[in-house]
Structure 1
């Protein structure tokens, strides 16, 4: 893995060239809460899919996650600050603009990147995040409590248990994850979403109880479209072929 520093944070990332090309068109991948670049993008074969499609893939470990620096204050995980990490990574790699795909928390970060720096995102894919980008503030705060519980065995709420087990499986720093949940509470207004004037694909599983309505969100963007991923919940939609094929089609058709 490679590293760069910005905003007082040491961040890890990978930069994978397109198969058969010198570099390929860049796409920035932003993973979800308690995940990392490998779990979100390498294990489900996203990097292979995109590099074989002629794309240069840049994927970072968000602050507090994976091999990036850990922080323990909620303010360090504000979504605008995490979006700036992504912008600084593009600067570091001398990339003027890129397609951007985020999943769940990563989708929220991608939306804020497009809002604040509209010239840097050529298009955005919001995976695992629907209208809760507008009317929700991320995962329930009870997830933070779950990260601080003595053990997963002490939890009875299904969602708390799900995310605590996932964080343990990915080797996440539980204290940092609790701070992250408490920090990523920012959302966009409908007017802010309407001003994101690049192609936007909103991809959500039909059994996803976390994301919110993809069609309602997609309708707000001037160039938005929704993609339903049949039969998939929040965690199982990531590597679905319908999602992958929809993204490849979207990237091929956007200007």
Structure 2
């Protein structure tokens, strides 16, 4: 992976050229909590899907994740700071405007990016995040406690067990993730969400008990629609064929 400095924090990224004739804006992908560029976007074949569709595709590891620098102060993980990382990466690559897709925490970061720098976005895809963008601060704070437990065996709460097991599977820095969880929890206001002008597709699995209602979030936005991914929960929606087809159709519909 290549690296750059985002306001002094070392971040790792990959930049993939389209495999066919360029068909639109570059697309920047922002992964979720305890994940990384590989788990969220490479293994589920998103990068291959998008580059084959003619899209320059950029992935990176959020601060505290993957191959990027690990930080241990919650104040260094606000959604505004992490959205700034994404904007800094576009600056580093000389990209004036890009479509942006985030999943779960990555969708929260993408929404903050769309609000803070609307001129930098073409289309916006929010995956694994519905109305909890406004009526919830993010994953339960107990997830941070789960990262700090001595072992997985100590935990009894199903969501804590799920995220701790996932963090261990991705070989994450648990202390950095605890700081990230505490610092990144922030709900946007209805007014902030309503001010997002980018064309938006909100994609949530029908069995997702983490994201909140995608239709309710779409109703708060000026230019948004929802895609409910049938039979998928929060984790299994990521690589779903219906999700990919919906995103590709959405991207094709955007003005170039």
Secondary structure of 2:56's match? strand
Secondary structure of 1:40's match? helix
Match of 1:82 in 2: 82
| Structure 2: gaps spanning 5 or more residues | none
> Which one is further off, 181-190 or 240-249?
181-190
Which deviations, in whole Å up to 9, do the C-alpha atoms of 1:93-144 show, x marking residues without a partner?
0100000000000000000000000000111100000000001001000000
Contact 2:23 2:53 in 1 (8 A): no
Q: Does structure 1 residue 246 correspond to structure 2 residue 241? A: no
Which deviations, in whole Å up to 9, do the C-alpha atoms of 1:2-27 show, x marking residues without a partner?
10002220000000000034796300
Match of 1:106 in 2: 106
Contact 1:4 1:10 in 2 (8 A): yes
Contact 1:17 1:23 in 2 (8 A): no
Residues in 2 aligned to 1:116 and 1:212: alpha-carbon distance in whole angstroms: 23
Secondary structure of 1:44's match? coil
Contact 2:44 2:239 in 1 (8 A): yes
Q: TM-score, normalising length from structure 2?
A: 0.98
Pairing of 1:114-193 with structure 2 (within 5 A): 114-193=114-193
Q: Does structure 1 residue 204 correspond to structure 2 residue 204? A: yes
Match of 1:215 in 2: 215
Residues in 2 aligned to 1:108 and 1:116: alpha-carbon distance in whole angstroms: 12
| Structure 1: gaps spanning 5 or more residues | none
Residues in 2 aligned to 1:156 and 1:137: alpha-carbon distance in whole angstroms: 23
How many pairs does the alignment contain? 255
Residues in 2 aligned to 1:185 and 1:154: alpha-carbon distance in whole angstroms: 24
Residues in 1 aligned to 2:210 and 2:8: alpha-carbon distance in whole angstroms: 32
Contact 1:18 1:24 in 2 (8 A): no
Where does structure 1 differ by over 2 angstroms across 4 or more consecutive aligned residues?
20-25
Which deviations, in whole Å up to 9, do the C-alpha atoms of 1:137-187 show, x marking residues without a partner?
010000001001111011110000000000000010000000011001112
Residues in 1 aligned to 2:249 and 2:162: alpha-carbon distance in whole angstroms: 32
Q: TM-score, normalising length from structure 1?
A: 0.98
> Which one is further off, 241-250 or 182-191?
182-191
Residues in 2 aligned to 1:135 and 1:8: alpha-carbon distance in whole angstroms: 33
Residues in 1 aligned to 2:187 and 2:2: alpha-carbon distance in whole angstroms: 30
Rate the CA distance shift 1:22–1:123 in 2: closer, same or farther, 3 A.
closer
- Measure how far apart 1:219 and its partner are: 1.2
C-alpha root-mean-square deviation of aligned residues, in Å? Answer: 1.0
